[in-house]
Structure formats: C-alpha cells, structure tokens
Amino acid sequence: MIHIVHSGNRHLYRAQIWAMFQERKHVYIDGHGWDELMSFSGAEIDDFDDERAVYLMALGDRGDLWGAQRVRPTDDRCILVDKFPQLIGPDQPQLKGPEAWESTRIFTARAYRGSTPLFPLLALAGAEVAFDAGARRIVAFTDIQNYPNLTDGAVVLALTGLPSAYRYGTMVGMRLEIDEEKLVRMRDSLAEHRRLSYAVNDEDMEVHGSLPAVQRAVDAARRIDEWSPRKDLATPIRSIAQIEASYAMYDGAKLARMAEIASAAAAAAEEARMISPPARDSGAVVPIKDMVA
C-alpha cells in the first residue's frame, strides 16, 4: 500500500510529513547540492507544497517514512513548463493544463533498507491518483545522471526534448502517458493485482487505531485474491498458455509467436485425438487391437 496524503487527511500524517520535508533537505540540498531551494529547521519546503499538493508515501510497519513523492495539478502552474521551457520540444503534447499532473521530489529515505525499489511503486501510485483526477499524463524533470535509474520496465518514460545544462549539471524533462490499460500493465509488471494507493480517513483511524494498523488491513484486503495464482499452479497447462499468450501480446514477434503457439496447440490436439480410446456404443464390442493402437 502507498498512502495518499492530501489536504483533507494531512492531520493524520503530521510526523510523516515533517519527516518527508527533512528527508528532502538531506536528498536535494545536502546530497544534490541544490542550495537555491528553501530550507529551515532542517527541512526543505517550497511554494508548491500548498493545499493542492498530494503526497504519495511508502511507510514501514511502524509508520516510519520509507519514501515519498509529490504530485500536483498543472492547470495553474508547472515547474517544468514555467521554469524549464528549454526542455520541451515542439512536437510535445500539452504538458500543462487539466490533463497533466507534475511529479516532483521523489526519493527513498535513508531509513529504508528494503530490497524492492520504491520508485516504480511511488510512480504507479502517483499515476493512479492523477488518472482519478482526469489527468492523462504526468510530467517531471531530473538530472540526466538519474535518468537510467528511473527507466524501470514498469514505468515507460518519454523525453520531452533535448537535455539542457543547468547550474548543477544537465537536466532532462520527462513525461509518462497514463490510461486504464497502461495502469494495468504497470500493476502487472510489479505483481500488483489490485490498486496500490489508498487514502486513509478519520473513520479508518477510528476503526483500526493507527496508520500501521490501517496499512495492514488494506494490504490484507489487496491480497484477498492471491489464491488464484496458487490455483493456476495446479493446472500448469493453463498457466503456461496464459504466460505464452501474455508474452506474445507484448513481444515484437507477436504474429510469428502466435502462429507458432497455434501450430503447437493443433499438433497437441491431434496427438491427443490419436491416443484417445475409441468411444464405445452400448453393446458394441471394441477389438483389443483398436484399444491399444
């Protein structure tokens, strides 16, 4: 589960929000050297941390912050478009407006020591939230040295234009197109069978008592259908067919592979017909040689 933190439930996340601002200072000011960013009391906050900002947070079993991302609508302002227009080529779709949200300040916290990369999970959660709000793409920017780490198989990023030098290195603009099919593919590639993001409300807290308890309940509900893959393991032929069909769907040699699978299926059917015993009519005598042929 990735937590959706918006203006209506931020009061439930006071400790995590402050930890997020502190971690952002460590990552972006202390780590990347972006000393033009505003910081005070060991935290980094800017004017995009307003009531329209939505934070996606990955929390540990005790409610400790593992990672976060900020997403925000761009119908009023957009850092990429307004401050770095040189990163946008002439052939790009509308990157600012009601169909675009912006992703910024994504990071993994120092306290996180997990083996699973958090970026694709946070990116999926941000895409879910933006898509719910009517967006059809997410825009972002990053230092070019970070770009290879962001091009995960689950997240298909496109460059918005040529890289450009800035004070701290070379920057590049990116966009992620989103629709229902792309969200399903992102979930499948991350082995997530259900929606990943969830917005905790006051009622959840009254019922479960704490954020970790809510998270455990939501994750348990998300795993409710995990018996299905186990059932498929009992029918390997069906599982293999599904895997081959899925691979063929996204493989570059789709048509050739599908023809090969169809040919193999036909050969298997013919083999099954050849070894099946003849049907018996009532009262008919079937020669033994026909039964063993």
Q: Are residues 127 and 242 in the same domain?
A: no
Q: Are 110 and 182 in contact (CB under 8 A)?
A: no
Domain count, the chain: 2
- 183-222 as b/e: b if 16+ CB within 10 A: beebbebbebeebbbbebeeebeeebeebeebbeebeeeb
CATH number at residue 155: 3.40.630.30
Q: Are residues 83 and 173 in the same domain?
A: yes
* pLDDT at site 289: 42
Q: Are residues 167 and 192 in the same domain?
A: yes
Q: Which of 157, 154, 137, 125 is nearest to 222 (CA)?
A: 125
Q: Are residues 274 and 183 in the same domain?
A: no
Residue 22 CB neighbours (<10 A): 17
Q: Are residues 216 and 251 in the same domain?
A: no
Q: Are residues 213 and 246 in the same domain?
A: no
* pLDDT at site 276: 53
Residue ending a domain, among 180, 199, 222, is 222
Q: Are residues 210 and 66 in the same domain?
A: yes
Token pair of 178 as six digits? 């989103």
The helices-and-strands tally (H runs, E runs) of the chain is 11, 11
Residue ending a domain, among 179, 202, 222, is 222
Residue 54 CB neighbours (<10 A): 21
* pLDDT at site 291: 37
Token pair of 289 as six digits? 């040689």
Residue ending a domain, among 177, 197, 222, is 222
Q: Are residues 206 and 272 in the same domain?
A: no
The secondary structure of residue 14, as a DSSP letter, is: H
CA 117 to chain centre: 11
In sequence order, what DSSP letters do the residues of 175-241 get, joined into one string? EEE--HHHHHHHHHHTT--S--EE---HHHHHHH-SHHHHHHHHHHHHTTTTHHHHHHHT-HHHHHH
Residue 56's domain comprises: 2-222
Q: Are residues 218 and 248 in the same domain?
A: no
3-state secondary structure 52-112: CCEEEEEECCCCCEEEEEEEEECCCCCHHHHHCHHHCCCCCCCCCCCCEEEEEEEEECCCC
Question: Which stretches of the chain score pLDDT less than 50?
Answer: 230, 279-293
Q: Are residues 129 and 258 in the same domain?
A: no
d(CA 82, CA 88): 11
Place of tokens 């947070």: 57
Q: Are residues 17 and 91 in the same domain?
A: yes
Q: Are residues 128 and 67 in the same domain?
A: yes
